[in-house]
Each structure stands twice: as structure tokens, then as C-alpha cells.
Amino acid sequence: MTDSKHIFSENMSKEIDLIRSKFPKDKSKSAIIESLLIIQHDNNGFLNDELITSLANYLSIQKIDVYEVATFYSMFNLKPIGKNIISVCTNISCMLRNSDGIVSHIEKRLKIKIGESTKDNKFYLKDEMECLAACNGAPMMQVNHINYENLTTEKVDKILDEIAND
């Protein structure tokens, strides 16, 4: 693999190699999901055509194979988003414990609608469809994939204040 075909740092290449080694020799495609997650994390939370092409070249697979994965799974973003990802679980258990009130509160506080990022790009409020499997801690949210449970609007303010000041 020549360097011109991908733009990954030496470190990133090593990490992808490690992921690749989890699977049988002729099963490169299996490495797509985990590789995309670390590539996306390294690129401010989103993927672009250059990165997707790079991974396809690096794994010697078709670009469309990578696109199929990148467009199917909800944790991949193909457009720039705010730095801190907020996902409020609004599935039934959380809905019964006022998760909709939590979402409205965050929308009001950050002056955005669900699915949008703040103007200063500090926060992205994901339109989360899935149950986040913390039902006994409802209502809950994840910020950058860390759980915050038994939320109240006061608690949410405190969490977002801390992150904003970070």
C-alpha cells in the first residue's frame, strides 16, 4: 500500500492493522466498522469521502463497501457536527419519565432543534431513535457516549455547564 492511496498517520495505520488482525486473513471488510469509528473520532466526529476512500484503499476493498456501512449505522456522521454529542434516550421507558421535557430543555438552552449543532460547534443534539439500554436510570442521556442517568433539568444544566467550560 503506497502512502498516496491513504492519508492515515502511522499511528492510525497501526490501529487499523490491529482491528484487521481480529478477523481471518481474507476478511478485510470485517474491519470496516471499528476502523470507521476510530477514524471518525480522529476527525472531529465525522467522515468524508477522502477518509472513506482512504479506508477502502487501505483495506484493499471497494469504496462502495465502506459507504454501505457508513450510511447504514446511526453512529456515523457524513457531515460535520458539534464537538460534544448529546443523545437523549426518548424510547418508552425514558418517555414515561419525561425524556421529552429533557429534550425541550436542551433545545431551549442550546437554541437548537433536535438533530442540529450549536453555532459555536460545541454541541450536537443527535435525534436518537434507539433505546440506550439504561432504562432503570430513566430519563437518561449520553454525552460523548458516557451515560448520565436519572436526569432533571437542573442536572442537565450542570452537566452541560461542565462540558462547555472544559
Interface residues with another protein (CB under 8 A) are 22, 24, 27-34, 36-37, 65, 68-69, 72-76, 87, 90-93, 95-97, 129-138, 142, 144-147
Spatial distance between the Cα atoms of 151 and 22, rounded to a whole number of angstroms: 38
Residue number with CB closer to another protein (111 or 145): 145
Least Cβ distance, residue 119 to another protein (angstroms): 26
Sheet containing 123-126: give its strands across.
Answer: 123-126, 84-88, 141-143, 146-148
Least Cβ distance, residue 69 to another protein (angstroms): 7
Least Cβ distance, residue 152 to another protein (angstroms): 15
Least Cβ distance, residue 61 to another protein (angstroms): 8
Residue number with CB closer to another protein (31 or 151): 31
Q: What is residue 57's three-state secondary structure?
A: helix
Residue number with CB closer to another protein (110 or 134): 134
Spatial distance between the Cα atoms of 31 and 43, rounded to a whole number of angstroms: 18
The residues that bridge with 126 in the sheet, in sequence order, are 87
On whether the CB atoms of residues 116 and 123 are closer than 8 A, the answer is no
- Give the Å distances, CA to CA, from 73 to 34, 100, 164: 12, 24, 28
Least Cβ distance, residue 105 to another protein (angstroms): 18
On whether the CB atoms of residues 118 and 76 are closer than 8 A, the answer is no
